[in-house]
């Protein structure tokens, strides 16, 4: 049955019906999950559909099942080059070239990767130096990769069973996948320059795949993961100490340049990247609230209390002492600001007309 589906998938691929081919390959993989050939061919279909993180994951699975399959390395390299992950692509091409020394595609693509890597190493310093020379602080943001659709994670397990979250530090991002009692041998984690691929395959249960393209670049060799009793914790080491606005890459949010503190002048305040939509000016809000309070129209006791409060706030120290002493000693019937008069004697109560003072007996 799997072979029939594979044949139909190849025919659909030849006819440029890539979505049909992808669906047929996926059905075949479910029937024969140990076939490296199926994963490698599905990777090619994903490449045609620009499902690049999925293509890398399929190629990695094919390599895991059959490390001698040269075309699996070629598929991985092709997807990584489209993602502009040239270091990862070059490493895959070198492994594939060793398996197929007569295939000129590997040497050609290795040369292209080397050229791209050299361009990256030259262009970034030039850009930073130019910006520092013009305004002291690098302001321009790195443009997101064009013509590559953002791919969301795929999850074969119901969301109620497996969830994930992340938090970050200046130097790393920690991704937590909440899955209980997963044997370590059932967990496979792969890292690319800007790709995370997580596969959980427990016998008798649906497979879980999480394959996001990351917000920023990481250092694959320094990343690690731990399988704990209640979760899988993945630590991704950032290539640059920048704030990630999200875990997954988005064309709507560009990766900001790292600010060089030494290039900030005394009159400039460094602006750090933030996931908040805009900065809140609390000083402005406070001034606005005070103005509203001042302009507020009150009636009755509220207006009288506001009147006394305004007098107290605008008074000097002697006037404040006089107000406190007169109010307390007169049982709230007298309020004076004349300290010379109030400070020299006890202030007697002065009840309103028609009322009399009485001492409260406990």
Task: Give pLDDT tens digits for 71-118.
Answer: 999 999 999 888 888 888 899 999 999 999 988 999 999 999 888 888
pTM of the model: 0.47
Residue 142's pLDDT is what? 40
CATH architecture of 164-237: Sandwich (2.60)
Q: What is the pLDDT of residues 156-185, one digit of tens each?
A: 444 446 788 889 888 999 999 988 888 999
Burial of 216 (0-12, 13-18, 19+ CB in 10 A): buried
pLDDT at 196 over 50: yes
Q: For the chain, what is the mean pLDDT?
A: 78
Residue 122's pLDDT is what? 67
Interval 29-57 mean pLDDT: 91
Q: What is the pLDDT of residues 60-84, one digit of tens each?
A: 999 999 999 999 999 999 998 888 8
Residue 48's pLDDT is what? 92
Higher-confidence position of 198 and 327? 198
pLDDT at 347 over 90: no
Confidence of residue 304 (pLDDT cuts 50, 70, 90): low
pLDDT at 40 over 90: yes
Confidence of residue 323 (pLDDT cuts 50, 70, 90): confident
- Domain ranges in the chain are 2-122, 164-237, 304-343
Confidence of residue 234 (pLDDT cuts 50, 70, 90): very high
pLDDT at 265 over 70: no
* 2-122 and 164-237, same CATH topology: no
Q: Which CATH number fits domain 2-122: 3.30.70.2660, 3.30.450.20, 1.25.40.10, 3.30.300.30?
A: 1.25.40.10
């Amino acid at each position: 049955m799997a072979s029939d589906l594979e044949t139909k998938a190849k025919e659909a691929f030849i006819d440029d019906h890539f979505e049909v081919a992808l669906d047929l390959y996926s059905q075949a993989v479910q029937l024969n999950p140990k076939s490296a050939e199926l994963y490698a061919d599905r990777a090619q279909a994903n490449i045609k559909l620009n499902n690049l993180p999925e293509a890398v994951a399929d190629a990695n699975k094919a390599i895991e099942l059959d490390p001698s399959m040269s075309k699996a390395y070629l598929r991985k390299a092709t997807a990584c080059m489209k993602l502009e992950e040239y270091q990862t692509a070059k490493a895959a091409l070198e492994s594939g070239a060793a398996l197929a020394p007569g295939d000129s595609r590997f040497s050609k693509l290795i040369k292209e990767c080397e050229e791209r890597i050299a361009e990256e190493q030259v262009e970034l310093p030039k850009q930073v130096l130019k910006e520092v020379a013009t305004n002291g602080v690098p302001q321009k943001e790195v443009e997101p990769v064009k013509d590559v659709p953002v791919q969301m994670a795929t999850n074969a397990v119901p969301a109620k069973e497996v969830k994930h979250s992340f938090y970050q530090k200046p130097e790393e991002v920690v991704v937590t996948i909440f899955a209980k009692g997963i044997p370590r041998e059932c967990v496979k984690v792969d890292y690319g320059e800007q790709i995370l691929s997580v596969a959980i395959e427990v016998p008798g249960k649906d497979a879980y795949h999480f394959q996001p393209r990351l917000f920023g670049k990481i250092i694959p060799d320094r990343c690690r993961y731990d399988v704990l009793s209640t979760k899988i914790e993945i630590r991704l080491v950032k290539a640059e100490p920048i704030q990630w606005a999200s875990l997954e890459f988005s064309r709507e949010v560009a990766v900001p340049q790292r600010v060089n503190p030494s290039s900030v002048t005394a009159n400039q305040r460094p602006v750090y990247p933030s996931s908040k939509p805009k900065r809140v000016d609390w000083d402005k809000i406070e001034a606005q609230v005070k103005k509203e309070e001042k302009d507020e129209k009150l009636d009755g006791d509220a207006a009288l209390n506001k009147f006394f409060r305004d007098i107290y706030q605008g008074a000097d120290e002697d006037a404040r002492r006089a107000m406190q002493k007169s109010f307390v000693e007169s049982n709230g019937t007298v309020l004076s600001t004349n300290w010379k008069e109030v400070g020299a004697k006890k202030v007697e109560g002065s009840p309103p007309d028609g009322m009399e003072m009485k001492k409260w007996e406990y």
